Structure 1
Amino acid sequence: MKILAQVALALLLGSAAHAAETANPLTDSDSWQAIRADVAGDIQISEAGDLFEVVAPYRASHAAAVPVTIRQTDPSARITGATVVIDENPSPVAAEFTFGEAMLPLDLEMRVRVNQYSNVRVLAETDAGTFMDGRFVKASGGCSAPATRDPEEALASMGEMRLRLFGKDETGAMSMPRREAQVMIRHPNYSGLQRNQITHLFIAAHFLDQIEVLQGDELLFRMTGGISISENPVFRFSYADNGTEALTVRAHDTDGNWFEEVLPKDQQS
């Protein structure tokens, strides 16, 4: 009976946590109405329903690194792309994604800057049309928040990449047919709205505008990003492992720098 009670409590706590994550639905937004045509043209956008959900905190603990997860809840659908929009940010389109087949069903977490209380919405592209879900997030100052590292130190390590893999049992064998990975790229991702903490002068915008992750020659995802992506971008995602020995990450920034690294799966950082 004690074990059953513990299981019941765990289920209850899990349900409560999920309810807390999803208790902040999109709100009415004049800003969205103003930018909708620029973001999506005149295409029809339907509610996501059971297709996918967006998970984001109602009150963010760090406005410059707000976790946002796009999680597919209907595994039979094909989500081929997604646009992440933060209504009240100076540059509302945070990222545009293209997904390879190995990413489906989609489960992707990223971190974004939120400049003031705002809807964070995702427009998902499928064979059946475009669908939208999102969350209202209470955060402010994310786009102008000071960088966490000294500029010289940040630039010295710019382009360094790390890979972590999850989903192995104690023997090292795969416990599931899919893997979970986390890719981190060192880059200050300056928004153009931050000040140097010594000179108090604005730091020029300098951010990653293209990121591509592959396994072998197979695309996992490609992202075109803007100033709303957090410093030192981190992506955590699940994918179907095709057996290649490494993931390849390519990135380009607005200063014209290209970074590329082959990250072996058996030599994680």
Structure 2
Amino acid sequence: MTRSRVRLLCITSLLAIGLGTGLTPAAGTDAYDPWPGLVQDIFNNRAMNDGSDVVAIEMPARAEDAAIVPVTLRTKLSPADGRRVVSITLVIDKNPAPMAAKFALGADANVSEISTRVRVNNYTDVHAVAELSDGKLYMTKTYVKASGGCSAPAAKNADDAKARLGQMRYRQFAKTGQGPASGTREAQIMIGHPNNSGLQMDQVTQLYIPAFFVNELRLWQDDSPVLAMEGGISISEDPNIRFTYVSNGAKRFRAEAKDTDGHVFQHEWKADDSGT
């Protein structure tokens, strides 16, 4: 999503809140359902099939902190199913920019679980839409009570955020009974970045901080794609992605991230390295 598009969505949301136009309903109300319009805007009005046997979404029913709400996406296809999950799109319906992230799953990585943290701006449905190799879309949803996550002040000050910009940490965890170089693995990638939403106010100048966020992340084991993310303003400060995959015996794990200001951050680790 372009920065101009994000800025327009943020301004529209602010005007709706400030002027009481009714475009953004009060927290806790369900008078307005944006989902049909989002199906058209994000998915080109493609048919949505029941995804209860395809993908699961887990979030707390009521968020403790609307700026860092945990979410887990889990594939549910039977091993005997000849199809595979190509991508999962996470949509937070009533956020200013509803498409939080789209995750593309590596063809040979067998990614089965993805966890991250998101901002939630209103009481809202949250949808997970899986695209399968049969070309069809499968949808499931949950409901989250939270408010103000997109406008919440940054947890770290600007100087700290600048010093940490683009710093990456990588951890991996062997599943029980699996060796360090093969089998199902659990890994985590963390990126130092303010991920400014465009709705946060500078506490000194009282001006809104421009949107500035990681909009692309790609992960490989050697040269084989594991996971790619197209991100938006709903991903929390310091993006943190935890996921499962099947190791192919690679020697290296590589990451590349890009943000909306054109910065490119790259790092690689030994495949059996669980440090920074």
Tell me the CA shift for residue 102 of structure 1. 3.7
Letter of the aligned partner of 1:30 in structure 2? D
1:140 to 141, 147, 168: 147
Letter of the aligned partner of 1:40 in structure 2? F
Contact 2:254 2:269 in 1 (8 A): yes
Farther-moved stretch of structure 1 (156-165 vs 198-207): 198-207
Which residue of structure 2 aligns with residue 190 of structure 1?
Answer: 196
Which residue of structure 2 aligns with residue 101 of structure 1?
Answer: 107
Tell me the CA shift for residue 34 of structure 1. 2.5
- RMSD over aligned CA atoms reads 2.0
| Superposition pairs of residues 187-226 of structure 1, within 5 angstroms | 187-226=193-232
Q: Does 1:151 align with 2:175?
A: no
Tell me the CA shift for residue 169 of structure 1. 5.9
Contact 1:121 1:133 in 2 (8 A): yes
What is the percent sequence identity of the aligned residues? 40
Instruction: Give the whole-Å Cα distance in 1 for the aligned partners of 2:215 and 2:207.
Output: 23
1:243 to 236, 239, 249: 249
Superposition TM-score, scaled by structure 1 size? 0.84
1:164 to 168, 171, 181: 171
Letter of the aligned partner of 1:262 in structure 2? E
Q: Does 1:65 align with 2:72?
A: no
Q: Are the structure 2 counterparts of residues 145 and 89 from structure 1 closer, same or farther at C-alpha, using a change threshold of 3 Å?
A: same
Identify unmatched segments of 5+ residues in structure 1.
1-26
Q: Are the structure 2 counterparts of residues 184 and 206 from structure 1 closer, same or farther at C-alpha, using a change threshold of 3 Å?
A: same
Which residue of structure 2 aligns with residue 92 of structure 1?
Answer: 98
Letter of the aligned partner of 1:63 in structure 2? A
Tell me the CA shift for residue 35 of structure 1. 2.3
Contact 2:215 2:232 in 1 (8 A): yes
Q: Does 1:113 align with 2:127?
A: no
**Aligned residues, how many?**
242
Which residue of structure 2 aligns with residue 256 of structure 1?
Answer: 262
Tell me the CA shift for residue 244 of structure 1. 1.6
Which residue of structure 2 aligns with residue 181 of structure 1?
Answer: 187
| Poorly superposed stretches of 4+, deviation over 3 Å | 172-176
Tell me the CA shift for residue 180 of structure 1. 0.3
2:38 to 35, 40, 43: 35
SS in 2 for 1:247: strand
Instruction: Give the whole-Å Cα distance in 1 for the aligned partners of 2:31 and 2:101.
Output: 22
Superposition TM-score, scaled by structure 2 size? 0.82
C-alpha offsets along residues 55-113 of structure 1, whole Å, 9 cap, x if unaligned? 11100111111111111122334000121111100001111121113442521111111
Q: Are the structure 2 counterparts of residues 28 and 126 from structure 1 closer, same or farther at C-alpha, using a change threshold of 3 Å?
A: farther
Contact 2:60 2:70 in 1 (8 A): yes
